[in-house]
Amino acid sequence: MCYSAMVESNLRSFWRQYQGVLSYATVQEIFQKRLTDSSIRIPKAFEANFDSPTSPNDTEIKRLIDQYRAASLTKLEIELFAQKKRHADAERALKSKVTKKAQEDFRISGNKIETALDRINGIKRPELRPTDSRIFPFWYAPILIHENGRAVVKLARYHLRQPRQPESVDRKYPGLYNARRDNIEKFWRNEFGVSHALMIVDSFYENVERDGKNAVLHFVPKPAEPMLVACLYGVWNAGKEDELLSFAAITDEPPPEVAAAGHDRCIINLKPENVEKWLTPQGRSSAELQAILEDKQRPYYEHKLLAA
């Protein structure tokens, strides 16, 4: 599985490498929906593409980002005020008499104050950090697809809801952000050979078991070059207002160093010369597409254990 990744969010990179044109209409639609849908999460690094707008489309997206940030700050400041009051009340109560309720209120409010301050600082912080490019399942990320004979960059959700499936499939199958290669011609048969995408990734994270507990490993390719991740995508409820574009990264058997670290899957890192063929699967046989997936880049994936 690939439960989290550092994705390439700089649109200039997509243009330089693949002449990928941004689909402004779909990006604007997602930013607009985010104003009323708290489940939509977009990396701060992608928002940074519109910090200095140079076109009417850029300006409109920047307006939506600013509106979202202002609303988020208001909610966080209200929450911060409430938790500071709760914290102060618990502190006074503890000075009078130590009770379990006062101790819990003091502890929980302290944690919530710290979280709120971190989120406020994250919104206000002008400079980008590497983690501002990190996505998780159900987050939105830029992907490259071929549409009407050209390369197009779109924002898509990292968890593929296939057409004709009910919304409840998201909860029933929370692992649909990854598509196993050994199941690609079965469960994913409607996407494989039909709707292919590319996600560009600098590194990825995996959950493993260490001493009976969950641990998070951060894998970085050496040499440190962008990973060209083979993906599938789907459009749910096409043509309706609640249309959803979503995608899944294809995973395969892991290289020895990833297996030795304790994980049994790995995203597929395409060779640059195979990207165009992967993105244009129509007319290609399953055998040819499988050969593209097999003929992958094989860097050494170094890893480190993240602090708990």
Asked if 264 and 246 touch (Cβ cutoff 8 Å), the reply is no
How many other β-carbons are positioned within 10 Å of the β-carbon of residue 72?
A: 16
Asked if 297 and 270 touch (Cβ cutoff 8 Å), the reply is yes
Average pLDDT over residues 108-121: 97
Position 209 scores a pLDDT of 85
DSSP per position, 212-232 = TEEEEEEEEEES---EEEEEE
Position 195 scores a pLDDT of 97
In angstroms, the CA 42 to CA 180 distance is 25
For 263-301, the pLDDT digits (tens) are 999 999 999 999 999 999 999 999 999 999 999 999 999
Position 240 scores a pLDDT of 58
Residue 121: is its pLDDT beyond 70? yes
Position 3 scores a pLDDT of 82
Residue 26: is its pLDDT beyond 70? yes
Give the helix ranges, DSSP H, for the chain: 11-18, 24-34, 44-47, 56-96, 100-124, 169-172, 256-261, 275-279, 286-294
Position 1 scores a pLDDT of 64
Element of type H or E holding 6: strand 4-7
In angstroms, the CA 295 to CA 186 distance is 21
In angstroms, the CA 227 to CA 164 distance is 31
Asked if 44 and 132 touch (Cβ cutoff 8 Å), the reply is yes
Is the Cα dihedral 23, 275, 140, 191 positive or negative? positive
In angstroms, the CA 90 to CA 176 distance is 43
In angstroms, the CA 162 to CA 147 distance is 19
Kindly state the tokens that stand for 308.
Answer: 């708990």
For 208-242, the pLDDT digits (tens) are 988 888 899 999 999 999 999 999 999 998 555 67
Position 306 scores a pLDDT of 86
147 φ/ψ sector (left φ>0, alpha ψ -120 to 50, else beta): beta
Position 241 scores a pLDDT of 65
Nearest Cα to Cα of residue 286 among 203, 188, 153: 188
For 161-205, the pLDDT digits (tens) are 999 899 999 999 999 999 999 999 999 999 999 999 999 999 999
Position 308 scores a pLDDT of 57
Bridge partner list, 266? 252
For 29-88, the pLDDT digits (tens) are 999 999 999 999 999 999 999 999 999 999 999 999 999 999 999 999 999 999 999 999
Bridge partner list, 143? 154
DSSP per position, 94-150 = HHH---HHHHHHHHHHHHHHHHHHHHHHHHH--S--GGGGEE-TTBEEEEEEEETTE
